[in-house]
Structure 1
Amino acid sequence: MDGTLVDTEPYWMAAETSLVESFGGTWSHEDALQLVGNGLIDSAIILQNAGVDMDAEAIVSLLTDAVQESLRIQGVPFRPGARELLKDLRSAGIPTGLVTMSLRRMALSVVDLIEFDAFDIVVAGDDVDNPKPHPEPYLQAAALLDIDIADAVVIEDSPTGLRAGIASGAVALGVPHIVSLEGVGAHELWPTLDGRSAADLVDLFDRRSSMTGATR
């Protein structure tokens, strides 16, 4: 969600900076980059190590509240082409799921702001035992969609998320935003979703399937 569907990473970074500074610490842009795509508890532990004297669950709740408030005040900055691609996937009858390490309440608040029924299912950070880069979130999504994960395309903007998609057995598409995805192992990298359609994803899946079949 964050960075692929919506550009909320600046909201998260601002909330993290404010929190660390409230405990007398410092939080740089480089510090913030190491949290991109991580599970929230993992991120909370990093913030604790930066001097935030709070329980991990409390950190997660506070940051989520801060980002939701930013969304209410500043609006939801959807990434270029994301909503349009979702709409085309729906028109094509292709099942879609949102897999995010944000809390479910945060994910649903963003989904509710899309002007059409964009997703069949949502898997959030508090729905799984093992966050990305573990494949569990994507495997759970495939089970909820009642599909084989090998028949899925995962779209990710972070190395952590991309590794989860690759490990799950899906076709993994990287669309970099704040951090580079070079060398992570994506099956393909697109610079943007802008101008992309359901047919482009079907073509990507068919090409990857052909290559896999040729090596068997």
Structure 2
Amino acid sequence: MTSGIPAVATGAADGPALEPRPVAAPELQAVLLDMDGTLVDTEGIWWEAEAAVFRELGFVLDEVHRAVVVGGPMTRSASYLIEVTGADITLADLTVRLNDRFTELIDGSVPMLPGARRLLTELAAHRVPTALVSASHRKVIDRVLRTIGAEHFRLTVAGDEMERTKPHPDPYLAAAAGLGADPARCVVIEDTPTGVAAGEAAGCPVVAVPSVAPIEPAAGRTVVPSLEEVDVPFLRRLISGKEPATRRSCRAIVPNE
């Protein structure tokens, strides 16, 4: 007696079982790099410029202020220094004087940090799109690019071209959009807590290379002692998830440790 329900064939007669399609790992779409203290050794030069300008105004800057102003946008750093010193100068005038003094100090060439030139050359060889994302003003960026090489970057983002700059995510979001990339597939390389905060707020994995101030390890953040630790396969593994973000982040790395 049959039930009237069609029998369902099973076994070899059905043919081979379908293999699940492999899911492609996320790919590295771009690398977004800070400038001062990350690619070029200029954080000390900025402090020298700030100290010189304030000496002319009659003030000696305490070293304690250095960690506060490092890596920040010019307006924030200048405002802070006016506040702590009580100097009789407007923010606009101080900004001009600081930028002018800095460009005087770097007239000629700027020292590249270890591993920076090799990394930029390797990114170009692998055709990985890159952007330079800095809180410095356009005038300063264009001067420093004479040393770094403008040809290494598809685009550059300057602090005075953004309504909000670091630690806000806007500069990194603008860079990713300009490259047509998903921020989650762009690695940000930074040297200061301010820059790291901007990259993470934009939703990017961040590689921190501390310069003046120490940077604590955190989820999604890899801390390395220098750019000599960073290459294209390493960056690709960060995006694919095959490189544990905590591999080099077991502790905070202090500059000049």
The two structures have a TM-score, normalised by structure 1, of 0.90
- Equivalent residue in structure 2 for 1:130, among 164, 167, 171: 164
- Residue 86 of structure 2: aligned partner: 51
How many aligned positions are there? 210
Relative to its length, the structure with more helix (as a share) is 1
Q: Which runs of 5+ in 1 are unaligned?
A: 212-216
- Residue 181 of structure 2: aligned partner: 147
Per the TM alignment, residue 25 of structure 1 is displaced from its structure 2 partner at its CA by: 2.0
Please identify the structure whose Cα radius of gyration is greater: 2
Per the TM alignment, residue 113 of structure 1 is displaced from its structure 2 partner at its CA by: 2.1
Partners of 2:41 and 2:213 lie apart in 1 by 13
Q: 2:86 is matched by which residue type in structure 1?
A: G
Partners of 2:218 and 2:236 lie apart in 1 by 22
Show structure 1 runs of 4+ deviating over 4 A. Answer: 183-186, 208-211
Q: 1:166 is matched by which residue type in structure 2?
A: E
For each residue in 1:56-96, what CA deviation from the matched residue of structure 2 results, as whole angstroms up to 9, or x when unmatched?
122122111111111115x3111110111011001101000
SS at match of 2:92: helix
The equivalences for 1:82-161 within 5 A come to 82-115=116-149, 117-161=151-195
Larger deviation, residues 43-52 vs 120-129: 43-52
Q: Is the 8 A contact 1:37 1:101 kept in 2?
A: yes
Partners of 1:116 and 1:167 lie apart in 2 by 27
Structure 2 CA distance for partners of 1:115 and 1:25, relative to 1, 3 Å:
closer
The two structures have a TM-score, normalised by structure 2, of 0.77
Structure 2 CA distance for partners of 1:63 and 1:19, relative to 1, 3 Å:
same
SS at match of 1:34: helix
Partners of 1:210 and 1:184 lie apart in 2 by 12
Matched, 1:81 2:104: no
RMSD value over aligned CA atoms? 1.9
- Equivalent residue in structure 2 for 1:31, among 65, 72, 80: 65
Between the aligned residues of both structures, percent identity stands at 37
- Residue 203 of structure 1: aligned partner: 237
Higher relative contact order (CA 8 A, sep 6+): 2
Q: Is the 8 A contact 2:237 2:243 kept in 1?
A: no
